[in-house]
Amino acid sequence: MSGWVKKTAVTMAAVLWVGLLAGCGSGEDKPSEHSKAAAPQTSATENAQSSQGATASGTAATADDETRIVKDEFGEVTVPAHPKRIAAIYLEDYLKALGVTPIVQWYNPNWGKQDYLNLDAPLFDTSGSIEALLAQRPDLIIVDGGTDRAAYDQYTKVAPTYRLPEDILQSSEQILKTIGDVIGMPEQAESVAAAYEAKLADAKAKLAQAVGQETVAVIRVNVGDRTIALFGVKNRFVGSLLFDELGLTPHPMVQKMTEFQEILSEEAFSMLDADHIIVIPSNGDWQTAENQDSFSLLDSPLWKSVPAFKNGHVYKVERSHWQSGAITANGMKIDDLLKLMVK
């Protein structure tokens, strides 16, 4: 190679290096759509290749570099064997139950957040840009059944992502054990599950004695449009816990529902002649003026003949844990039911 060619090659290499540095600097303040797709932890495969490359080149891999393959709803995914920065979207409850602090807590302007967890973690607005999650540098993301394939693919551009299998979504215990396995804490998950099962068994016996075959329904007062929603037996917030695990008897209107919830017409109010009615607000808590005003919907004369109203068995409970089907929330619901129904 001539001296002129060598000089030209060196000059071009220098220009390219400066350009790369400039590109990295501009993407740090405000990542573009392109930089999202090309994030360092774009996919589980790249993480695995990186780890394998370090070992093949003669550099000893550390525990932090280890990966393993697990199967989720959409197939096989390579995850860190020892994740340190975990984002569990809508599933933070399970991490807390296992003694792990998630790096973010989900938030939605319409639903609020899971206040009952008292987490000290930045909020991630699930209705906003995924770049906010990218900024928190997760090494593993876990998502629930509300995440479809398109959303899942977006998450995988940020970090290796595990989507819970569809066939476990009705069981908080199975979700707990699955997450425990994915993050490398199966023994802790088994211990938490055993304590939960014991609590369930104790509560079921006490509720059977106090309530027997009296019927139960759960309704939500929707603050925005001032409507009342009835939760069905398949509702993931309450159906499995109240009717399957605790053995409470659903009102016939609840039993025949195929949807998670249905908006009740005023004519249907008196038809919901349940012995016990649990009421939650759609957002916030019962102390807000807006929720207190919405609760006046239940002052309708149409409710007066309902046994729950006549006997003082209408229970106002807090939204935060009643609108979650996770294991910590379920434990709090059990405490509520024992306090309200077992005298």
Which residue, of 184, 218, 248, is where some domain finishes?
A: 184
Structural domain includes residue 30: no
Same structural domain, 231 and 180: no
Sorted by sequence, the CB contacts under 8 Å of residue 79 that are 6+ apart come out as 44, 67, 68, 69, 70, 140, 160, 162, 182
pLDDT at 62: 54
Same structural domain, 70 and 175: yes
Structural domain includes residue 328: yes
Reported confidence tier of residue 231, pLDDT bands at 50, 70, 90: very high
Gyration radius of the chain's alpha carbons: 26
Longest pairwise C-alpha distance within the chain: 100
Which residue, of 129, 152, 184, is where some domain finishes?
A: 184
Both tokens assigned to 335:
């405490």
The rounded percent of the chain whose pLDDT value lies above 90 is: 64
Which ranges of the chain would DSSP assign to H, the alpha helix?
3-29, 33-37, 44-56, 92-97, 131-134, 149-156, 172-182, 186-210, 252-255, 266-269, 289-295, 307-310, 319-322, 327-341
Structural domain includes residue 163: yes
The burial of 265, by beta-carbon neighbours within 10 Å (0-12 exposed, 13-18 middle, 19 or more buried), is given as exposed
Structural domain includes residue 174: yes
Beta bridge partners of 107: 125
**Number of domains composing the chain:** 2
Closest CA to 172 of 93, 254, 75: 93
Same structural domain, 52 and 92: yes
- Tell me the pTM: 0.77
CATH code of residue 292? 3.40.50.1980
Q: What angle do CA 195, 162, 93 make, to 5 degrees?
A: 35
Distance CA 187, CA 99 (A): 12
The burial of 311, by beta-carbon neighbours within 10 Å (0-12 exposed, 13-18 middle, 19 or more buried), is given as exposed
Using an 8 Å Cβ cutoff, are 76 and 69 in contact?
A: yes
pLDDT digits (tens, 9 = 90+) for 139-176: 999 999 999 999 999 999 999 999 999 999 989 999 99
Distance CA 156, CA 161 (A): 5
Which residue, of 126, 158, 184, is where some domain finishes?
A: 184
Reported confidence tier of residue 295, pLDDT bands at 50, 70, 90: confident
DSSP 167-200: GGTT-HHHHHHHHHHHTT-HHHHHHHHHHHHHHH
Amino acid identity, residue 271?
A: M
Same structural domain, 251 and 136: no
pLDDT at 293: 74
Indicate if the pLDDT at residue 256 is higher than 90.
Answer: yes
pLDDT at 32: 28
Same structural domain, 210 and 163: no
Same structural domain, 157 and 88: yes
Reported confidence tier of residue 304, pLDDT bands at 50, 70, 90: confident
Instruction: Tokens 């994030």: give the residue.
Output: 39
Structural domain includes residue 217: yes
Beta bridge partners of 231: 261
pLDDT digits (tens, 9 = 90+) for 193-205: 999 999 999 999 9
Residue 272: which domain range?
200-341
Both tokens assigned to 123:
């909020």
Same structural domain, 161 and 207: no
Structural domain includes residue 192: no
Same structural domain, 106 and 219: no
Higher pLDDT, 292 or 127: 127
Same structural domain, 57 and 171: yes
Same structural domain, 125 and 210: no
Same structural domain, 222 and 313: yes
Structural domain includes residue 195: no
Same structural domain, 279 and 313: yes
Structural domain includes residue 39: no
